[in-house]
Amino acid sequence: MGYNTANVRKLNSFAEAKKWYENIKPIARHPQQVRPLGIRRHHEMASIRMPDSSTVELYYYRNPLVTWRSDNTFSVHAPAYWSAFVPDNICNFVPLNLGFGWNRGRLLLRVGSEFYAMERGQSYNFQVMDGGKCFFLNVPTAYATRIRRKPYAEAMKKVSKFKDWFNIVNAISETHKGEAVNETYEIFRVANGVPSESQYDKLRGNLVYSANRTEEEHELVHRVWDESRKAGKLPFRGNRQHSKQYADFYRPSCEMLFNWITDESGSKWTEALYVILQQQGSYKTYTSNSEDRQMNISHRELDDYLSALVKYLFRDQVFEKVRLDQGAIPTKTNLNFYDEIEFTIGNIDIMSINPNPKQGA
C-alpha cells in the first residue's frame, strides 16, 4: 500500500464519493467546514468537498486532485507540487485500476499496465464503464525532444560578438565586484515588472499573520513566498541555484537579456554579464564585507548559459518533436527548456494588497 499517510480509501464512482461526503462530519470549528477524506487529523492533506449537487472534489492539500461528476466521469489533475513520496500518498485518490508511479523526478499516472508522465497544469479525463473499468478519454501523446544541430548553430551565431567581447574583458580581469552585480540584478528584476526583494519583504510584513486570517489572505501568503523564490531565478535558473539543469525560464526577462547581448553597440554588455553572473557565476573571494566580494565566471560556464538562453528562445526552431508509442515514457532530455514561470503579483503598490498592517509591526 505504501505510505498513504492519511489512510484514504478508494472511491470507484460518483455515488461512492457522494455517499462518503454525506457521511463524514466536518472538522469542528474549521472556518471552511472541511471534511476529511481519510484520518481526521490529516484533513489538510486529504479532504473531500462538494461544490454542487453533481460534483465531488477530492483535495490533496490545497488543490483538487480528482473531480467526480454525476455522469460517472472523473478527472485526475496533476498536483501543484510533487516528490518521490507523493505517489504513495495519493495512490488511493483514484479508482481501483488506476494508480501512480515515479520515474527520474516525474510523477506517472498508471492506467492498467501503462504509465503516462503527468504534466503540471494538465487534467486527465476518464469515463467509468460497466464493470468498473475506466476508459481514458484524452490519452496523452508522448514525444521525445531532440535538437536540430544546424538551426542551433545558426542561432548561436547571434551571441558570438558578445562572447568575443567577454574573452577580451576576461583577459584583462577575471573578477567583478559582487556589490555591482547585485545592484544591476535588482534593477533588471524591477525592469521586468517583478518586485524587488525589499518590496516582497514589505508585503510580507504588511500581511496579517493570525489564526483568523481570511482564505484570501492565506492564499496571498503562499503566493508571496512562492513568487519571491521565483524572482531570484530571473531570467532563468543557472549553476548558482545548485542545479545542473537550466530551468524556470521567465520569457520577458530572457528576451530583455538577449536584446542586450545582441545589441552590437555593446551599450548593455556589462549589465548583461552581471545578470549572467548572478545566476551562473561564483564568488572568487567571499568576505563578511559585501563591498569586498568578487565574482567570476569561466568561459565554459558563460557558453553553457548562453546556449541555454538560445535554446529556450528559439526552441521552436532548434528542437523537433518525435512521437513515441502509446504508454512509452519519454526521456527528460531538453524538456527543461519548456519549464516556464510566471508572476501574478507584479510590480504594484504593495500596501494596496492588504490595507490592514500587521499588528505590532
Among 102, 119, 140, the domain boundary falls at 140
Among 140, 157, 175, the domain boundary falls at 140
Q: 194 with 200: CB under 8 angstroms? A: no
In a domain, 316, yes or no: yes
Same domain, 74 and 160: no
Per the structure, how many domains does the chain have?
A: 2
In a domain, 108, yes or no: yes
Instruction: Flag whether pLDDT at 294 surpasses 70.
Output: yes
Same domain, 159 and 195: yes
In a domain, 339, yes or no: yes
User: Could you tell me the three cell numbers for 215?
Assistant: 482564505
Same domain, 130 and 194: no
Same domain, 95 and 155: no
* pLDDT for the residue numbered 210: 56
How far apart, in whole angstroms, are the C-alpha atoms of residue 272 and residue 239?
Answer: 17
Instruction: Flag whether pLDDT at 348 surpasses 60.
Output: no
- Block residue for cell numbers 553553457: 304
User: Could you tell me the three cell numbers for 79?
Assistant: 498536483
164-179 pLDDT per residue, tens? 999 999 999 999 998 9
Same domain, 53 and 196: no
Q: Which domain holds residue 212?
A: 147-352
* pLDDT for the residue numbered 293: 84
* pLDDT for the residue numbered 358: 44
Same domain, 182 and 288: yes
Same domain, 257 and 156: yes
Same domain, 57 and 194: no
* pLDDT for the residue numbered 245: 80
Confidence of residue 317 (pLDDT cuts 50, 70, 90): very high
In a domain, 102, yes or no: yes
Residue range 118-144: mean pLDDT, rounded: 92
Q: 276 with 162: CB under 8 angstroms? A: no
Same domain, 120 and 173: no
Confidence of residue 211 (pLDDT cuts 50, 70, 90): low
In a domain, 134, yes or no: yes
Same domain, 66 and 177: no
Same domain, 238 and 307: yes
How far apart, in whole angstroms, are the C-alpha atoms of residue 111 and residue 101?
Answer: 10
pTM of the model: 0.69
* pLDDT for the residue numbered 284: 76
Confidence of residue 355 (pLDDT cuts 50, 70, 90): very low
* pLDDT for the residue numbered 1: 45
In a domain, 3, yes or no: no
| Burial class of residue 38 (count of CB atoms within 10 Å of its CB; 0-12, 13-18, 19+) | buried
Same domain, 119 and 246: no
DSSP 157-188: GGGHHHHHHHHHHHHH-S-EEHHHHHHHHHHH
First to last CA, the chain: 48
Q: Of residues 90 and 241, which shows the higher confidence score?
A: 90
In a domain, 330, yes or no: yes
In a domain, 1, yes or no: no
* pLDDT for the residue numbered 242: 58
Beta bridge partners of 144: 322
Among 107, 123, 140, the domain boundary falls at 140
| Burial class of residue 7 (count of CB atoms within 10 Å of its CB; 0-12, 13-18, 19+) | middle
